[in-house]
């Protein structure tokens, strides 16, 4: 009896050996050779017509396009699972997958350490305003005319979204710099987790008014898009700091710029943008902001863990008919 077929969309760079060793005995591995969306749609009726699952990495976007409803609906009827490489999956149309009965997974946990490290860096850089210092010394000005910054010790940090990343940011800033931790979530974290040590705030308004630094660690979806806007910035303390390592789309950019321009925000640290890789040139006008080009998971270690998580999801489905890390929207509906 022939093995089922799985299709690799994009690249597997760090766990290629493991892909062959773990998935190879369970399925025939096909590598996508389609060069355009139309070619991919045509190939789904011919050489990919028997695939049961898909491994997807964003490297596919440049060729066959993003996994929207059009692409999902072009898949052959044999497809049962879609394994996404990434914790955030806002570019994957999970509703289209659900309508087709295709179980979708992602990689929560795999990106937690690397993204939390990025958030910690931005918190420290924004409070100490190290980017001004680096700019000055690169210009040959040493530290002439640099204003005094602030210390992170004993400040209050508010976490919006106390998932795996948020919990690590909280732990590191609390243990390393003695910051008091508040957090706002849909519900308190289970006993024994972050909720056992940190203060849960059911009211976002109340939490923001008490924080010196606010870290955004929530997913991007229909409910959170532009959810942090003028009202939320108004709730923040004057002279506080915003750090965003979540998704650019959760912040209303014009409201952020106004908060920076008015001086209501002391500083900001931004790693993510709504239309990546395009960055709104307005960011470059402010000298009280630290920006990075979405460096959250730009380490070989985290990339290996991410790829291994995808591989383990594929293995689980091929062996047991279920994904380990099913996306939230599919829970209770599939498997």
What positions carry a catalytic annotation? Answer: 247, 276, 294
Residue from 306, 330, 299, 327 nearest 109 by CA: 306
Residue pair 56/10 in contact (Cβ under 8 Å)? The answer is: yes
Q: Are strands 180-184 and 199-200 parallel, antiparallel or unpaired?
A: parallel
Helices (H), the chain: 16-18, 37-43, 69-73, 94-100, 112-128, 130-138, 164-177, 204-208, 230-235, 253-262, 300-320
- The residue length of the chain stands at 335
Place of tokens 């390393």: 176
Q: Is the omega angle on the peptide bond into residue 43 within 30 degrees of 0, that is, cis?
A: no
> How far apart (Å, rounded) are the C-alpha atoms in residues 149 and 157?
17
What lies within 8 Å, CB to CB, of 140 at 6+ separation is none
Cβ–Cβ under 8 Å, residues 32 and 55? no
CB-based contacts of 190: which residues, under 8 Å, 6+ apart? none
Using the structure block, give the residue that is written with the tokens 């591995």: 29
The string over 200-215, giving b where at least 16 C-beta atoms fall within 10 Å of a residue's C-beta and e elsewhere, is ebeebeebbebbbbbb
CA distance 326 to 61: 22
């Amino acid at each position: 009896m022939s093995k089922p077929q799985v299709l690799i969309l994009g690249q597997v760079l760090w766990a290629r050996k493991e892909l062959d060793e773990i998935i190879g005995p369970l399925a025939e591995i096909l590598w996508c050779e389609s060069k355009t969306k139309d070619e991919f749609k045509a190939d789904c009726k011919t050489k990919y017509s028997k695939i049961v699952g898909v491994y997807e990495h964003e490297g596919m976007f440049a060729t066959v396009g993003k996994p929207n409803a059009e692409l999902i609906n072009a898949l052959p009827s044999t497809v049962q699972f879609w394994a996404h490489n990434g914790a955030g999956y806002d570019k994957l149309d999970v509703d289209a997958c659900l309508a087709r009965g295709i179980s979708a997974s992602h990689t929560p946990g795999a990106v937690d350490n690397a993204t939390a490290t990025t958030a910690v860096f931005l918190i420290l850089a924004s409070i100490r305003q190290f980017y001004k210092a680096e700019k000055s010394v690169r210009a040959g000005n040493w530290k002439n005319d640099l204003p005094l910054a602030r210390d992170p010790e004993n400040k209050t940090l508010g976490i919006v979204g106390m998932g795996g990343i948020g919990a690590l940011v909280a732990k590191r800033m609390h243990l390393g710099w003695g910051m008091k931790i508040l957090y706002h979530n849909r519900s308190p974290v289970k006993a024994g987790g972050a909720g056992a040590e940190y203060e849960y705030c059911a009211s976002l308004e109340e939490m923001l008014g008490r924080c010196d630094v606010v870290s955004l660690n929530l997913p991007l979806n229909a409910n959170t898009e532009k959810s942090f806007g003028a009202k939320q910035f108004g709730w923040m303390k004057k002279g506080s700091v915003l750090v965003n390592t979540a998704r650019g789309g959760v912040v209303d950019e014009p409201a952020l710029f106004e908060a920076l321009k008015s001086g209501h925000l002391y500083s900001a640290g931004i790693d993510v943008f709504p239309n990546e890789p395009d960055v709104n040139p307005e960011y470059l006008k402010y000298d009280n902001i630290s920006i990075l080009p979405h460096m959250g998971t730009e380490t070989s270690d985290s990339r290996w863990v991410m790829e291994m998580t995808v591989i383990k999801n594929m293995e689980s489905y091929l062996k047991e008919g279920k994904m380990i890390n099913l996306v939230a929207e599919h829970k209770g509906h599939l498997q």
